[in-house]
Amino acid sequence: MSYLMKVLPLVRLVLFIVSTVGTWEFLRRKTGVSKYFIPALAAGLQSLAVILLGGLGLLVPAAYAVLAFGLVAAGLIVWRDKDLSILEPYTDGAFTLVFVFTAAFAVFCWESRFGHWDSFVHWGIVVKNMFQTGRLPNAADTFLTHWAYPLGSAAYLYYWVQTVMYSEPVMMIAQAFLMTAAILPLYGIAREHKKAGLVVLVLAIDFFFAFLNYPTELLVDMLLALSFGMTLVYLYRYAREAENTKALYLAAVPLTMLMQIKSSGTLFCVIAVLFLLGWAKQYGKLKQRLIVAAVPFASLGLWKLYLSFAFAGAKSAKHGMSVAGFREVFGEKSQRTVGIITEKFVKFAVTRRDFWLVFAFLLLLGLCIFLFAKRLRKLWAKCAVFSAGLYFVYSVGLLGMFLFSMPEGEALNLAGGERYINTVVAVLAYLLFALLLRTVAECETRRFLRMGLCLVSVGFTFLMLNKGHAIGTSAFRAIYNEDRIWLNLIVKENGLTERDAGGYTLLTPEKFDRNMLQYVFMTDRCSVKKIDTAETTLTPGQCYGTILVRDPEDPEIKAWVAQYFPGSVGKSVIVNDAR
């Protein structure tokens, strides 16, 4: 039996891989879309299917239905082809790089565990809850404080853990694969210049994972940026002239994912839709474009409808997107506070070094285009104007978020500002990579090919150094949270259970993240009590049923335990009989 339990995850992994390839090839053959877009499009479809069916109460069946679809598709394709040619499209250098990177990332992160606040408060805990309950979140999940956040990435991660195995590293790998799938389409822009495309693809993967502060966490800011960049490239190729109607309709998938990855993705979706509809005057197919444009907004409406039923009567979600919430948060800020926040943000956005480095590199690339690839001068000018405009519009939207969505304390500190602004900088970098490869593809001389590769290598090496990470090592960084390591050990050694009605209180001489307790024990009945003085007024009646002691030998904590639980001095876990 133990041998079977060890082999079962491997069997499930093989079935998952076969299903994935089957889904990819089915989409490629049915739509005629470039194979380099297929992994991202397939992931989007799978995620949306899980959300849609999950909203109908069929979350677990949805995951296995998606898996079964791919297996059936793979079986039928192999049966019809009478060989294994189904694998052939996915054996070139670009796909090999993605597979090798994903495998290397898996080896690197396999012993990692979440250590970041955002993973504890939403992105990790919501997937864990979906896996444990077999349903989408609802009002019964009182420990979910950000329940209004969309589940685009969470649904895809859930699909992995439900059909392969549940573990935090599996979620990390799934998220990393989502991001590399969004980067992969860059390779196709190089056309016959495959070596150039492969070099830039390597640089792009390393750059974006370096720009991501926490590669082993589930924050979606970088995923959103890459998805938007990929969406713009897809629309330019398949929705501008719209010669392939199936590919045009398929554009609804990345557009909808922008809405479903993060609430702020609405801005990116609106910008992409404006491009989609704007091309109708020159290239026609207005009716089809309107249908595609309606899908993401319909998905947003359905999500809001689900929330209105599932969380009826629940407490307001933190950072929720509603007019009432905006009015309430903004009303808490004085006119002076608004002025301070605005002044600090403007200075922050205008002096952002990463933006100016990317823009300077864009200007340098423009010089090369004007000298060696004059046919692309108009495209470069449009990209430059769009980049500057996007940065301005996004910055205004970000300022609005600080003013209307964030509590005063967080807004005054521009909490998360660097991470949020890096989202738009990453979008600009993605477009810069795309423009570079388009220039290489259009240029007939090898001299410019070599120059372009040197240019992108030197330019983005400086950007990488600016972020403080070295080429080749930046993607492999994890948070080593000592508190999380200690907590996992205490849980394992003492057989502590999740969702315990008695709750947990942690005594600590230092700061400790309460959200970590909430994530580990899956309950809002948890608290952190900092004891750093002998004059503490804390009593056992103010603690939950199980008391955890972060440092049993700390003098103040030891004195407190000796006073109320003399038989438990030196222990890390105390049963609170006084509760």
pLDDT in tens, the chain (579 residues): 566 667 888 899 999 999 999 999 999 999 999 999 999 999 999 999 999 999 999 999 999 999 999 999 999 999 999 888 899 999 999 999 999 999 999 988 888 888 888 888 888 999 999 999 999 999 888 888 888 889 999 999 999 999 999 999 999 999 999 999 999 999 988 877 777 788 888 888 888 887 776 788 888 999 999 999 999 999 999 999 889 999 999 999 999 999 999 988 999 999 999 999 999 988 888 999 999 999 999 999 999 999 988 888 655 555 555 555 666 666 666 778 878 888 888 888 888 877 887 888 888 778 777 777 778 888 888 988 999 899 999 988 888 888 887 777 777 777 777 788 888 989 998 998 898 888 877 765 555 655 665 566 666 655 655 554 444 444 555 556 788 889 999 999 999 988 888 899 999 988 898 999 999 999 999 999 988 776 678 888 899 999 999 989 898 999 899 989 988 888 999 998 866
pLDDT score at 471? 40
Query: Which two tokens mark 443?
Result: 């240029």
pLDDT score at 445? 58
Amino acid identity, position 352: R
pTM: 0.90
pLDDT score at 49? 96
For 159-191, the pLDDT digits (tens) are 999 999 999 999 999 999 999 999 999 998 887
Amino acid identity, position 466: N
pLDDT score at 19? 97
CB–CB of 348/414 below 8 Å? yes
Rounded Cα gap, residues 522 and 126, in angstroms? 10
Q: Angle at Cα 318 formed by Cα 315 and Cα 322, nearest 5°?
A: 85
pLDDT score at 473? 45
pLDDT score at 468? 44
SS (H, E, C) 425-493: HHHHHHHHHHHHHHHHHHCCCHHHHHHHHHHHHHHHHHHHHHHCCCCCCCCCCCCCCHHHHHHHHHHHH
Amino acid identity, position 227: S
pLDDT score at 457? 60
pLDDT score at 316? 59
Beta strands 573-575 and 546-549, pairing class: antiparallel
pLDDT score at 333? 66
